[in-house]
Amino acid sequence: MDQFGLHVRYEGDDDPEKCSARKLARFDRAELHRSTLATPPGIVLNPFADTALSPADAVGSGARHGRLVALDCSWETAEREAFDLEGIHRSLPFLVAGNPVNYGTAFELSTVEAFAGALCILGAREQAEDILSKFTWGHTFLELNDEPLARYAECTDSTEIVAVQDDYLVSE
The pTM of the whole model exceeds 0.85:
yes
- The C-alpha atoms of residue 91 and residue 52 are separated, in whole angstroms, by 5
Q: pLDDT of 116-143, one tens digit each?
A: 999 999 999 999 999 999 999 999 999 9
Query: Do residues 5 and 66 lie in contact, with contact meaning Cβ atoms separated by under 8 Å?
Result: yes
- The C-alpha atoms of residue 155 and residue 130 are separated, in whole angstroms, by 23
Q: pLDDT of 77-101, one tens digit each?
A: 666 666 788 899 999 999 999 999 8
Number of domains comprising the chain: 1
Sign of the torsion angle spanned by Cα atoms 24, 1, 132, 46: positive
**Domain hosting residue 132, numbered range:** 5-171
